[in-house]
Amino acid sequence: MTIDLTPYLSETGPKYLAIARALSEAIRQGELTPGTRLPPHRQLADTLGVSVQTVSRAYAQAEKMGLVQARTGSGTWINALDDTRESAYLRNSEPRPEDALIDLSIAHPVCPPGHHLRFRETLALLAEQASPDVVTASRPIAGLPHQRERASEWLSRRLGVPGDPDDRILCNGAAHGLLLAISTIVQHGDLVLTEALSDHGLIALSRTLGFQLRGVAIDDQGVLPEALDIACRRFKPRAVCLTPTQLNPTGATMSEERRDAVAEVLERHGVWLIEDDVHALLEMPGLTPLTARVPHLGFHITSLTKATVPGLRAGYLSVPRGQLHHTLPRMRATTWMATPLIFEIADTWIADDTLEHMASEQRELLAERQRLASRLLSGHARTARPTSLHVWLALPTAWRTEELQQQAEQEGVAITTAVPFMVEQTAAPRRVRLSVGAEPDIERFEEGLKRLADLLGEAPPPMMQFVY
């Protein structure tokens, strides 16, 4: 096919990068749609008046950015972006009937009825006591002063995050905080390092904002310091985005020694750190964030959603000293300010220790389910933190991950493969992620595990035959 990238080409920077960015812009504006086949390298090179090598580098760059996919013998095609990686749960907005799939696929805290009661009681209290600012404020972009002050004290005391109120921004959940932190320091085309398996939200952000994302090798404690050092020296990244506590999907959690080693690498290379600490409250106090080791380089993000209720979109972004004035314009542009009423609920729960009680209860509920999973899946290799939202389950030799996912769905159980969390298009781990909190009824959760255990004990069905 013939495509015209000329309107999207920039005169600055290397030609191959300009072409990759032009592809990104053409996709964003709908000129190139998912499933479109791009011209052969030589044809596009002739059209643009560049070398074939330049187009080859541009296509390789676009593939790193998640924009295209090279298929052997078939050419280069525009990716379907997040559609192929987004879980069925996220695409389906219809209410679930009682006989719907048992959901072991979505990251979700356990939400017993008492959580709803606490929410209602707090709303009733605020109806009587809340300041008018909670509904009339329109100017405090970073959050109401009293909410920022209490949040800052809590972040310092409970999580060990350095800073004072002037370094904190209240944002609408951790995903919003991640967007703000990245957009503050990362430009279109910049390279960011992260774990080889990382949260799918970061992968989606790389495509939305147009930065490159490259994975670094991990083990059962997360990113390997030696591999991170090599990657920093080789790629000169703009930033490193890490989840040191309960990495999604593996649950990997860094020891203090590992955190020291990773921080030393970041310090030596002088690279920005974006720390996703959204699972901090699912661990007992004591783990010190990476940001505390490199406060001048570290953006720290956490929220209350994983330890309380998902609807409490209370996120907290701590920025290095001197960066607030760079981040606030992004806050204004994306949401103007975080919802004051949500943070008044959070403020109340921090002040009266409801937050700590709910976090403690959440850890107990998750531990109960992790013990149940350990018993029912005892014959299979798996990794999980004692109070993690997930189980990272290895498959028997006979099963492929996609086959198991499909067969489990036929048995009424939704699970997640490693594909949504893969930063680069390499061979997927032969594991699936089981989420232990999405089903509020523990009996349904147990039934889902039993069905899955039965499947794993059987041989997979014969391969389906396709007629073309």
| pLDDT of 84 strictly over 70 | no
Identify the three-state secondary structure at position 63.
helix
In one letter, which amino acid is 283? E
DSSP-assigned states of every residue in 359-403: HHHHHHHHHHHHHHHHHHTTTS-EE--TT-SEEEEEPPTT--HHH
| Nearest C-alpha neighbor of 343 from the set 159, 158, 131, 134 | 134
Structure tokens at 361: 């209860």
Least confident of 344-353, 393-402, 421-430: 421-430
What is the structure's pLDDT at 80?
55
pLDDT surpasses 90 at 396: yes
Contact between 23 and 68 (Cβ < 8 Å): yes
CA distance 178 to 380: 35
CA 335, 338, 341, 342 torsion: positive or negative? positive
Matching residue, tokens 């198991």: 404
pLDDT of residue 5: 87
- The reported pLDDT for the residue numbered 89 is 43
- Reported as a pLDDT band with limits 50, 70 and 90, residue 83 is very low
Q: What is the pLDDT of residue 147?
A: 96
Q: Pick the range with the lowest mean pLDDT from 60-69, 158-167, 274-283.
A: 60-69
Q: Where are the domains of the chain?
A: 6-80, 83-108+356-457, 131-352
CA gap 97, 213 in Å, rounded: 39
Identify the band that residue 54 occupies on the pLDDT scale cut at 50, 70 and 90: very high
| C-alpha triplet 309, 311, 316: angle, nearest 5° | 85
User: Spelled out in words, what is the top-level CATH class assigned to the domain 83-108+356-457?
Assistant: alpha beta
Question: Could you tell me if 290 and 267 are in contact, meaning their C-beta atoms sit under 8 angstroms apart?
Answer: no
What pLDDT, on the 0 to 100 scale, is given for residue 194?
98
State the virtual CA torsion across 243, 369, 111, 281 in degrees, nearest 10: -30
User: Residues 290-341: pLDDT tens digits?
Assistant: 999 999 999 999 999 999 998 899 999 999 999 999 999 999 999 999 999 9
Whether residue 215 contacts residue 261, with contact meaning beta carbons closer than 8 Å, is answered with no
Q: Phi-psi bin for 246: left (phi > 0), alpha (psi -120 to 50), beta? A: left
The residue to which tokens 């729960």 are assigned: 349
- Produce one character per residue of 194-223: b if its CB has 16 or more CB atoms within 10 Å, e if not: bbbbbbbbbbbbbbebbbbbbbbebeebbb
Give the model's pLDDT for residue 8: 82
- State how far the alpha carbon of 323 is from the alpha carbons of 123, 368, 465, in Å: 34, 42, 58
351 falls in which pLDDT band (50, 70, 90)? very high
How far is 199 from 242, CA to CA, in rounded Å? 10
Which residues face 432 on adjacent strands? Answer: 393, 417
Beta-sheet pairing, 315-318 with 382-383: unpaired
- Examine the pLDDT at 98 and tell me if it is beyond 70: no
Taking residues 49-67, report their average pLDDT: 85
What is the fold, at CATH topology level, of the domain defined by 131-352? Aspartate Aminotransferase; domain 2 (3.40.640)
CA-CA distance, 453 to 373, in Å (whole number)?
A: 10
Residue 316 and residue 399: Cα distance in Å, rounded?
Answer: 41
Do 83-108+356-457 and 131-352 come out as alike in CATH topology?
Answer: no
Name the one residue in this structure whose structure tokens are 């219809």: 94
More confident residue, 225 or 38: 225
Q: Is residue 60 over pLDDT 90?
A: no
Q: Which tens digit of pLDDT belongs to each residue from 427-440?
A: 889 999 999 999 99
Percentage of the residues of the chain whose pLDDT score is greater than 90: 69
| CATH class, range 6-80 | mainly alpha
Q: What are the tens digits of pLDDT across the range 184-220?
A: 999 999 999 999 999 999 999 998 999 999 999 999 9
pLDDT at 467: 34
The Cα 290–Cα 254 span in angstroms is 10
Question: Rounded CA gap, 257 and 225, in Å?
Answer: 11
- Residues 6+ away with beta carbon under 8 Å from 207: 65, 66, 67, 81, 82
